[in-house]
Chain A
Amino acid sequence: MPEDDIKNLTASEGNNTLGDTIAALATPPGTGAIGIIKISGEEAVSIVSRLFHSKKGRPAGSFQNFRLYLGTIIDPQTQKPLDEAMAVVMRSPHSYTGEDVVEIQLHGGYFVARRVLELVLREGALPAPPGEFTRRAFLNGRIDLTQAEAVAEIVSARSEKALEQAFRTLSGELGNQIRNWEKTLVHLQATIQADNDFPDIIEDDLETLFLNTLSEMKNELEKAIAHGEKYRRLRDGFAVVIAGTPNVGKSSLFNAIIGTDRVIVTPYAGTTRDAIEETLMLEGYPVRLIDTAGVRPVDEPIERLGVATTQRYLEEADIVILLFDATRPLQEDDISLAHKLSAKKIIPVLNKVDLPYNISKQDISQHLSLDPIETSILQKQGIDVLLQSIVTKLQEKNSSDGFSLSLNERQSAIVYRTLCRVKDSIQSLEEGYPLDCASTYLTEALSTLRSLSGNEVEEAVIESLFRNFCTGK
Chain B
Amino acid sequence: MSKSYGVIVVGGGHAGAEAAAASARMGVSTLLITTSIHHIALMPCNPAIGGPGKGHVVREIDALGGLMGRIADLSAIHIKKVNTGKGPAVQTLRVQTDRECYSHLVREELEAMDHLDIYQGEVGEILFHSGQIDGVRTISGSTFHSHRIVIAAGTFLNGVIKVGELSYPAGRQGEFPSVQLAGTLREMGLSLLRLNTCTPPRLDRATIDTSAMDLQQSDTEPLCFSFVHSGRVCSGSVIYITRTTPQTCDIIRKNLHRSPLLQCLSDSSPVRECPSLEDKVHRFPQRENHLVFLEPEGSHSREVYAQGIFTSLPEEVQWKIVRSIPGLERAHIVRPAYGIEYDIISPTILTHTLECRTIPGLYFAGQINGTSGYEEAAGQGIIAGINAALALRGEPPFLLKREESYIAVMIDDLVTRGVSEPYRLRTGKVEHRLVVRHGNADVRLTAKGYAVGTVDSKQYQDTVIKRETIQQEIDRLSHTLVSPSPQLNLLLQKAGGEPIRNPEFLARLLSRPRVTYRDLANFDLNRPYLTPNIIEEVETEITYAGYIERQRRAIQSMSRLENKRFPPDFDFSSVKGLSSEAKDRLSEVHPRTLGQASRVRGVTPADMAVLSVLIETHNRQKKADP
Cβ of A465 within 8 Å of any chain B Cβ, yes or no, is yes
Q: Return A129 CB to nearest CB of chain B, in Å.
A: 8
A135-B605 in contact given A199-B82, A437-B87 (Cβ < 8 Å): no
Q: How far is the CA of A440 from the CA of B546 in the complex (A)?
A: 12
A 448-463 binary contact with B (CB < 8 Å = 1; else 0): 0001001010010110
Contact, CB under 8 Å: B557 / A19: yes
Residues of B within 8 A of A443 (CB): 431
Residues of A within 8 A of B560 (CB): 17-19
With beta carbons under 8 angstroms apart, the residue of B274, B495, B601, B609 that contacts A155 is B609
A440-B551 in contact given A196-B86, A466-B273 (Cβ < 8 Å): yes
Q: Return A149 CB to nearest CB of chain B, in Å.
A: 8
With both beta carbons as reference points, the residue of chain A lying nearest to B291 in the complex is identified as: A200
Contact, CB under 8 Å: A152 / B513: no
Interface residues of A in 189-240 (CB under 8 A from B): 189, 192-193, 195-201
Cβ of A473 within 8 Å of any chain B Cβ, yes or no, is yes
With beta carbons under 8 angstroms apart, the residue of B284, B307, B576, B620 that contacts A156 is B576
With beta carbons under 8 angstroms apart, the residue of B86, B273, B606, B613 that contacts A152 is B613
B 340-352 binary contact with A (CB < 8 Å = 1; else 0): 0000000000000
Residues of B within 8 A of A155 (CB): 577, 609-610, 613
With both beta carbons as reference points, the residue of chain A lying nearest to B597 in the complex is identified as: A16
Cβ of B426 within 8 Å of any chain A Cβ, yes or no, is yes
Q: Return B7 CB to nearest CB of chain A, in Å.
A: 32
**Stretch of A374-382, A407-415, A428-436 contacting B (4+ beta carbons < 8 Å):** A428-436
Residues of B within 8 A of A19 (CB): 557, 560
Q: How far is the CA of A148 from the CA of B577 in the complex (A)?
A: 14
With beta carbons under 8 angstroms apart, the residue of A132, A138, A158, A435 that contacts B87 is A435
Residues of B within 8 A of A163 (CB): 606
Cβ of B52 within 8 Å of any chain A Cβ, yes or no, is yes
Residues of B within 8 A of A129 (CB): 609
Q: How far is the CA of A16 from the CA of B598 in the complex (A)?
A: 8
Cβ of A298 within 8 Å of any chain B Cβ, yes or no, is no
Residues of A within 8 A of B426 (CB): 193, 196-197
With both beta carbons as reference points, the residue of chain B lying nearest to A42 in the complex is identified as: B557
Residues of A within 8 A of B273 (CB): 466, 471
**Stretch of A6-14, A173-181, A389-397 contacting B (4+ beta carbons < 8 Å):** A6-14
Cβ of B549 within 8 Å of any chain A Cβ, yes or no, is yes
Most B-side CB within 10 Å, residue of A10, A153, A433: A433
Contact, CB under 8 Å: B553 / A10: yes
Cβ of A15 within 8 Å of any chain B Cβ, yes or no, is yes
With beta carbons under 8 angstroms apart, the residue of A18, A192, A193, A472 that contacts B290 is A472
Residues of B within 8 A of A437 (CB): 87, 89, 434, 544, 547
Cβ of B596 within 8 Å of any chain A Cβ, yes or no, is no
Q: How far is the CA of A9 from the CA of B431 in the complex (A)?
A: 15
Residues of A within 8 A of B287 (CB): 470
Q: How far is the CA of A433 from the CA of B280 in the complex (A)?
A: 33
Residues of A within 8 A of B307 (CB): 472-473
Residues of B within 8 A of A157 (CB): 577
How many residue pairs bridge A and B at CB < 8 Å? 169
With both beta carbons as reference points, the residue of chain B lying nearest to A131 in the complex is identified as: B609
Interface residues of B in 394-439 (CB under 8 A from A): 426-428, 431, 433-434
Q: How far is the CA of A148 from the CA of B544 in the complex (A)?
A: 45
Cβ of B381 within 8 Å of any chain A Cβ, yes or no, is no
Cβ of A405 within 8 Å of any chain B Cβ, yes or no, is no
Residues of B within 8 A of A141 (CB): 620
Q: How large is the interface on A (under 10, 10 to 19, 20 to 34, 35 or more residues)?
A: 35 or more
Cβ of A385 within 8 Å of any chain B Cβ, yes or no, is no
Q: How far is the CA of A231 from the CA of B605 in the complex (A)?
A: 28
Cβ of A26 within 8 Å of any chain B Cβ, yes or no, is no
A152-B577 in contact given A135-B613, A197-B52 (Cβ < 8 Å): yes
Q: How far is the CA of A276 from the CA of B272 in the complex (A)?
A: 65
Contact, CB under 8 Å: B547 / A162: no
Cβ of B2 within 8 Å of any chain A Cβ, yes or no, is no
Contact, CB under 8 Å: A436 / B86: yes
Q: How far is the CA of A353 from the CA of B343 in the complex (A)?
A: 95
Q: How far is the CA of A156 from the CA of B579 in the complex (A)?
A: 10
Q: How far is the CA of A1 from the CA of B550 in the complex (A)?
A: 10
Q: Return B308 CB to nearest CB of chain A, in Å.
A: 6
Q: Return A463 CB to nearest CB of chain B, in Å.
A: 8
Q: How far is the CA of A13 from the CA of B554 in the complex (A)?
A: 7
Cβ of A120 within 8 Å of any chain B Cβ, yes or no, is no
A472-B617 in contact given A6-B553, A199-B82, A440-B550 (Cβ < 8 Å): no
Contact, CB under 8 Å: B546 / A159: no
A156-B577 in contact given A135-B612, A451-B605, A472-B280 (Cβ < 8 Å): yes
Cβ of A347 within 8 Å of any chain B Cβ, yes or no, is no
Cβ of A355 within 8 Å of any chain B Cβ, yes or no, is no
Residues of A within 8 A of B544 (CB): 433, 437
Cβ of A151 within 8 Å of any chain B Cβ, yes or no, is yes
Contact, CB under 8 Å: B86 / A197: no
A470-B617 in contact given A1-B546, A155-B610, A197-B52 (Cβ < 8 Å): no
Contact, CB under 8 Å: B613 / A138: yes
Q: How far is the CA of A14 from the CA of B280 in the complex (A)?
A: 36
Interface residues of B in 190-220 (CB under 8 A from A): none
Q: Return A209 CB to nearest CB of chain B, in Å.
A: 15
Contact, CB under 8 Å: B86 / A195: yes
Cβ of A139 within 8 Å of any chain B Cβ, yes or no, is yes
Residues of A within 8 A of B512 (CB): 432
Q: Which residues of B contact A (CB under 8 A)?
A: 45-46, 51-53, 82-83, 85-87, 89-90, 272-275, 280, 283-284, 287, 290-291, 307-308, 310, 426-428, 431, 433-434, 495-496, 512-514, 544, 546-547, 549-551, 553-554, 557-558, 560-561, 576-579, 598, 601, 604-610, 612-614, 616-617, 620-621, 624
Q: Which residues of A contact B (CB under 8 A)?
A: 1, 5-6, 9-10, 13-19, 129, 131-132, 135, 138-139, 141, 145, 148, 151-153, 155-159, 162-163, 189, 192-193, 195-201, 431-437, 440, 443, 451, 454, 456, 459, 461-462, 465-466, 470-473
7 contacts between A and B (CB under 8 A): A1-B547, A145-B620, A152-B613, A159-B610, A432-B514, A433-B544, A434-B86
Beyond A456-B601, A466-B273, A471-B273: 19 further Cβ-contacts under 8 Å?
A6-B546, A10-B553, A13-B554, A13-B557, A15-B605, A141-B620, A145-B621, A151-B613, A152-B614, A155-B613, A158-B606, A159-B578, A159-B604, A201-B291, A461-B428, A465-B428, A472-B291, A473-B45, A473-B274
